């Protein structure tokens, strides 16, 4: 970024955004795709919004599969200043990185490391995010919790929320299902019924009150998880971005059956990772 050459500056800022914001490189147009979808290298001036304090960068554009990318992130002051420089004097439909093509970046990546590409940045950032989020699970699940309340269902909820952070990072969004409201209503009904049973059990001082409390906790946790993940696609990161060893090691550490996270197709695809040690860290 400190180079005096504009092309080098643009290439550097593009690489920075691909790494920092997990953006796709852009330019890999599907021949049958009619929508105006873009990635980092095809960003236009109109995609940069100056409605937040600097050095925050607000980008709004249609990404792959016409999924809207609308996020604000703080970036380095130098990168922010260069982006403003690249925009100067250009019309809204002008290219932000007019001196950089996706092929230029991938050639540059190859010169740094064999096999390095823009997608590797996304897979790395997805995997390190999942690993860091799951480490929070290790800290949250204390020995006492494990003894009292933590079970496979609760652990799977922890995992889902961790994987949600990856989906947000990679902009893996989806529309909420048409029957989401109906599903929430059914869960609410189950929760109210379980709470009523718990209240009666406590009133009668029945020994099953503890089991009913666990049921209420599980139902409430399931409801939170389902509602929090209604607009993100969790499968994409599992299949294409997360290093499977992270998930397999986590399952081994917490004695969660691997089938809870990987269906048969993924078990076959990731057979190479099954021997990973429980203490593996990405």
Domains defined along the chain, listed by start = 6-116 (3.90.15.10), 121-273 (1.10.132.10)
Angle at 173 between CA 49 and CA 273, to 5 degrees: 125
Annotated catalytic, 241? Answer: yes
Beta bridge partners, 60, equal 70
Q: What is the pLDDT along the chain (282 residues), one digit of tens a residue?
A: 999 999 999 999 999 999 999 999 987 554 445 578 899 999 999 999 999 999 999 999 999 888 999 999 999 999 999 999 999 999 999 999 999 999 989 899 999 999 999 889 999 999 999 999 999 887 776 554 555 445 888 889 889 999 999 999 999 988 888 999 999 999 999 999 999 999 999 999 888 888 899 889 889 988 999 999 999 999 999 999 999 999 999 999 998 999 999 999 999 999 999 999 999 999
**258: exposed, middle or buried (C-beta count within 10 Å: 0-12, 13-18, 19+)?**
middle
Q: Among residues 69, 124, 241, 280, which one is catalytic?
A: 241
Of 278, 224, 213, nearest to 251 by C-alpha is 278
- What pLDDT is stored for residue 205 in this prediction? 87
Q: How far apart are alpha carbons 158 and 178 in whole angstroms?
A: 25
Tokens describing residue 192: 């109210």
- Token reading at 32: 């049958």
Looking at residue 30, its pLDDT comes to 46
User: Which pTM was predicted?
Assistant: 0.85
């Amino acid at each position: 970024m400190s180079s005096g050459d504009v092309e080098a500056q643009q290439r550097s800022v593009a690489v920075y955004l691909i790494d920092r914001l997990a953006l796709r490189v852009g330019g890999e147009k599907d021949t049958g795709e009619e929508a105006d979808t873009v990635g980092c290298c095809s960003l236009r001036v109109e995609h940069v919004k100056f409605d937040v304090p600097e050095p925050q960068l607000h980008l709004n554009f249609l990404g792959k599969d016409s999924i809207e990318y609308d996020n604000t992130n703080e970036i380095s002051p130098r990168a922010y200043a260069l982006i403003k420089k690249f925009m100067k004097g250009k019309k809204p439909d002008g290219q932000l990185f007019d001196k950089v093509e996706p092929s230029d970046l991938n050639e540059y990546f190859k010169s740094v490391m064999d096999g390095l590409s823009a997608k590797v940045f996304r897979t790395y950032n997805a995997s390190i995010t999942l690993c860091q989020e799951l480490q929070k699970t290790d800290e949250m699940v204390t020995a006492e919790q494990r003894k009292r309340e933590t079970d496979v269902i609760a652990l799977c909820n922890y995992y889902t929320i961790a994987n949600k952070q990856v989906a947000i990072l990679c902009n893996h969004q989806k529309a909420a299902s048409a029957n989401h409201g109906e599903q929430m209503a059914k869960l609410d009904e189950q929760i109210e019924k379980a709470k009523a049973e718990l209240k009666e059990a406590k009133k009668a001082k029945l020994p099953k009150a503890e089991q009913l409390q666990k049921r209420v906790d599980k139902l409430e946790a399931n409801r939170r998880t389902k509602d929090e993940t209604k607009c993100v696609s969790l499968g994409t990161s599992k299949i294409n971005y997360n290093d499977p060893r992270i998930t397999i090691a986590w399952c081994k550490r917490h004695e969660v059956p691997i089938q809870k996270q990987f269906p048969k197709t993924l078990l076959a695809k990731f057979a190479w990772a099954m021997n990973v040690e429980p203490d593996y860290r990405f």
